[in-house]
Structure 1
Amino acid sequence: MLKCEDNVENIEGVMKMLKEFCAENFTDVPQAIANGAKRIELCDNLTVGGTTPSAGVIESTVAYAHDHGVPVMTIIRPRGGDFVYNDYELKIMETDLIEAKKLGTDGVVIGCLTADGDLDEEALDVLIDRAIGLPITFHMAFDAMPVEKQFTAIDWLAEHGVDRILTHGGPAGVPISEHYEHLKALIAYANGRILILPGGGITHENAAEVAQTLGVPEVHGTKIIAL
């Protein structure tokens, strides 16, 4: 199993940056890796924000990526829409996570909320327990939380072994540069306890600027690599 922190690249010799490519199925993975992706977030159905890919897609992607020294983070999400899941959906997520782990995924990407916009701590406890031994990213469900609840969410996620939080810093569709101040506040509050991973609207053209402005070692996106 590869470490998700492997394979970073220098930005003008000043800092290092890891580009996580958000892949919709296997199709673009070989080209993305050839062009510099150092980690893959593997999804299906990006039109709804990403759902769990099939076992076959996970297996093939993991095999190819590992042959090229690149780790794979697999999203565990049963459907599009909100991030409030019932017991049946949670069971689906639990089973999918266990299967992804068997297939060799290097980490998982999860996110569960309550109807009030809090972390669904009970659901997350189950998934974190099933993911034991794997790095965990909390996905952009974070951006659906009220701002005032995001800081206590950082505390809980850090305390429960989550490695990073993927966030645009605000509403989707707004340039990430307009969210710099909030992202800086999140990064400062996290204070190294958990990584704030910026994503959404980051491309191969502005990735270095985003990383340098925010002082982060990792960036994420579907266009983070020129294909």
Structure 2
Amino acid sequence: MFKEIPVENFTDIPALIAKGANRIELCDNLAVGGTTVSKGVMAETQKYASEHGIPVMAMIRPRGGNFVYNDIELKIMEADLFQAQELGVDGVVFGALTSDGSLDEEAMEQLIGAASGMQITFHMAFDAIPTAKQTESIDWLVEHGVDRILTHGGSLDQPIEKGLEQIKSNLKYAANRIIIMPGGGITSQNAESIQNELGVHELHGSKLI
């Protein structure tokens, strides 16, 4: 089981790597779903994780709330992506939507361009896309070289078990063209049963370890 652990700042990272984290999603402000950490935190985390052979995915998100960003926020995100690139961060995590819940294709193209060479995860903004538009969103993300989608299968106020059918549907449609990574409410207690039911290889959760 490949475990991606979202971590707030550097403090807990050595212990989590020692306990078996396979990849770190580096965030600040996990209470709002994660925002971008400082340059110092990003640099020290990448250095330590690299020394231990563990990849780091840095959250690129300028604030909590929705995923509809204005031009200034996109400039901030682009600058943070360049910073991550400069620090040698393995990958980045972001997402941008329009006010009607569609992919903001123009914003995404800008951000994907700035992330050139790094792995890209489209985060749980995916769950804010209406179900009817999710298949076309998967196609677009595949076509633009995004590596994986992090999804809860529905609203985060519902347990992950309620979203498994939607995740299964998206897994079937994605057909191994992009990694679908379940997250949100996955713990060391339910991880194995969720992995077995979905047949996935990667799981995301702060309580997996």
For the aligned pair, the TM-score class normalised by the smaller chain equals: over 0.9
Aligned match of 2:196: 212
How far is the alpha carbon of 1:144 from its aligned partner?
0.9
Aligned match of 2:70: 86
Aligned match of 2:142: 158
Residue of 87, 109, 114 corresponding to 1:125: 109
Pair 1:137 & 2:121 matched: yes
CA distance in 2, matches of 1:26, 1:210: 29
Percentage identity across paired residues of the two chains: 62
How far is the alpha carbon of 1:133 from its aligned partner?
1.0
How far is the alpha carbon of 1:145 from its aligned partner?
1.0
Aligned match of 1:196: 180
How far is the alpha carbon of 1:173 from its aligned partner?
2.2
CA distance in 2, matches of 1:149, 1:26: 37
1:26 is paired with a residue whose SS is coil
2:3 is paired with a residue whose SS is strand
Structure 2 letter corresponding to 1:195: I
Cα shift readout 1:187-224 (whole Å, capped 9, x = no counterpart): 00000111100000001121121111100000001111
1:170 is paired with a residue whose SS is coil
Moved over 2 A (4+): none
Aligned match of 1:10: none
Pair 1:99 & 2:83 matched: yes
CA distance in 1, matches of 2:56, 2:163: 27
Alignment length (residue pairs):
209
CA distance in 2, matches of 1:180, 1:125: 30
CA distance in 1, matches of 2:195, 2:142: 22
Cα shift readout 1:56-91 (whole Å, capped 9, x = no counterpart): 000111111111110000010000000000000000
Aligned match of 2:15: 31
Structure 1 letter corresponding to 2:185: G
Over the aligned positions, Cα root-mean-square deviation in angstroms equals 0.7
Pair 1:149 & 2:133 matched: yes
Aligned match of 2:168: 184
CA distance in 2, matches of 1:54, 1:177: 34
Structure 2: unaligned runs, 5 residues or longer: none
Structure 2 letter corresponding to 1:63: K
Aligned match of 1:12: none
CA distance in 1, matches of 2:192, 2:158: 19
Pair 1:60 & 2:44 matched: yes
Q: Normalized against structure 2, the TM-score is what?
A: 0.98
